[in-house]
A and B are shown apart, each in its own frame.
Chain A
Amino acid sequence: EPEVTQTPSHQVTQMGQEVILRCVPISNHLYFYWYRQILGQKVEFLVSFYNNEISEKSEIFDDQFSVERPDGSNFTLKIRSTKLEDSAMYFCASSEESGSGNTIYFGEGSWLTVV
C-alpha cells in the first residue's frame, strides 16, 4: 500500500539553527500538509499546499516556517531560527484531491528536539 515517507525520523538541533524536514507524499496525491504535535498535546494543522502554493495556513505557521516542493516528489518544511518550543513531532500528510471526503494519509512523523 502506498505511504507517505518522512525523513529524518528524529533530529536534534541547537536553538537558533535552521531545520529542513522532508517528505515524499503518495505519488498520485495533489494536496500536501504539515501537522504538528507537541508532546502530550493534540495534533495541530500547520499548512496545506496545492499546485505549488500554500492553500491554507494556521496562525502557528508564521514567517519562521516555509514549505516547498523542490522537485516532483519531495515536499519540505523549513523551520528557521528554531526555538525550544518548536520541539514536537511534525507529520507530513497528503490527499488525492481537495474534497474533504478524501482521506488524508499521514507519514510516520519527524521528531524534532531543539536544545
Chain B
Amino acid sequence: AQTVTQSQPEMSVQEAETVTLSCTYDTSESDYYLFWYKQPPSRQMILVIRQEAYKQQNATENRFSVNFQKAAKSFSLKISDSQLGDAAMYFCAYRSAVGQGAQKLVFGQGTRLTINP
C-alpha cells in the first residue's frame, strides 16, 4: 500500500518570503499523480497544485511550484511571496494511475503553515 509522509507538523514564514513544505511517499508503482491540497480554517479542502509522475517538468501555479524528484520519491511545495491568506494546513496526497488505487487519494499527515506579518 502507498504511504505519504509529511515530516514537518508546523512551519512558519514571514509574509512575502518563500517557504518549502516537504513530502515523501512510498510506492512500487511507476505511474501516479501527486497533489497538494490546502485546508484553511474554514476546513474546505482546496486543490493547490498537481503533478503527473510521467512528466519530468515540475508543475507551477502562480506563486506555487513543486520540486518533484521521482527517484527520491519526494514532492515538495514551494510557496513564493507568502501572503497572509496562505495560512492553512497543507496536505500532500497520492493517487494511483490505474487499478483500484485510482479511486482514492492517500493523504499525508499535513503541515500547518503560519504566515507572520
- A contact residues vs B (CB 8 Å cutoff): 31, 33, 35, 41-45, 48, 55-56, 58, 89, 91, 93, 98-101, 103-109, 111
Contacts and interface: CB of A to CB of B under 8 A. Distances in A.
A101 B43 contact: no
B102 to A, nearest CB: 4
B91 A42 contact: yes
Contact of B102 (A99, A107, A109): A99
Contact of A43 (B45, B52, B96): B45
Interface stretch (B19-27, B71-79, B104-112): B104-112
Contact of B104 (A42, A58, A107): A58
Given A42-B91, A93-B45, A100-B95, 8 more contacts: A42-B108, A43-B107, A48-B103, A91-B45, A101-B33, A103-B35, A106-B44, A108-B42
Given A42-B107, A100-B95, A89 B102 contact: no
Interface of B: 32-33, 35, 37, 42-47, 50, 52, 91, 95-98, 100-110
Nearest to A101: B33
A32 to B, nearest CB: 11
